[in-house]
Amino acid sequence: MDWHFWIPLGVTIAIGIVNAYQTDLTRRQLKLQTDAMNRSSKKSQVNIFIPWKYRYGPTVAMVLLAAVSWIPYFMGAAGPIPSGQPFMTLFGQSEPFELSNPLLRVETDGTFLSSYQKDYRLAAVAFRYYGNGDIKDASNLQKSGLYDIENGKITIFIHLDEQFMRTMQHGEIRTNYFLLLVPNKVQPSQFSTLRQAESLGAKILQGGAGPP
């Protein structure tokens, strides 16, 4: 969770505290007025002076706090990821596939992710999954570098290591591809599974399986 989450939460808590203070202040004001009226036989003689900062201060504070809660909306706060959006428009071997520099590729349209441009970058991973345990715990991820989110088509390249190249000899096992949103402060070297990536704040946009 980043500051886009903590600012509204902190403001909500602060407003609750100010509201509780204002409620208590109102109760004490009513008590003072009641006591003064009981001591006076004429209501017109009741004159209780309450400083401006105590009378209107809590209301002004809540208005200001409510305004602060809108800051994330004007600072590029990322909205929810659109559901059902086919983020991976293409994935598979890079053509032509060269054994001297084997590459896989994942293509996407960064236009749908423009709200994440300031805080996230894109990465793609590929791996073999043999059905042992949860797919998010599969290791030996082949990882791309980090790509800036730009409007239009983005092609992400994944370099393959020798171990993965050896598994390509078994054509019955397909390759799993995943497209990720990675926070700016996170590097692909910091995670070795999808679950670890998520624990660092990465978001899985879409997954798929195909050759090689």
| Domain spans of the chain, in order of start | 3-74, 90-210
CA angle 57, 58, 63 (to 5 degrees): 100
Give residue 160's pLDDT: 95
Cα 150 to Cα 19: distance, rounded to the nearest angstrom: 44
CB atoms within 10 A of CB 62: 17
pTM over 0.95: no
Per-residue confidence in pLDDT tens, the chain, 212 aa: 444 555 666 667 777 786 777 677 677 777 766 776 676 655 555 555 556 555 556 666 666 656 655 554 444 445 556 556 789 999 999 888 888 889 999 999 999 999 999 999 999 999 999 888 999 999 999 999 999 999 999 999 999 999 999 888 766 688 999 999 999 999 999 999 999 999 999 999 999 999 88
Cα 15 to Cα 35: distance, rounded to the nearest angstrom: 30
Cα 156 to Cα 7: distance, rounded to the nearest angstrom: 34
Domain 90-210 CATH assignment equals 2.60.40: yes
202 burial (CB, 10 Å; 0-12 / 13-18 / 19+) is: buried
Tell me which DSSP letter residue 111 carries: G
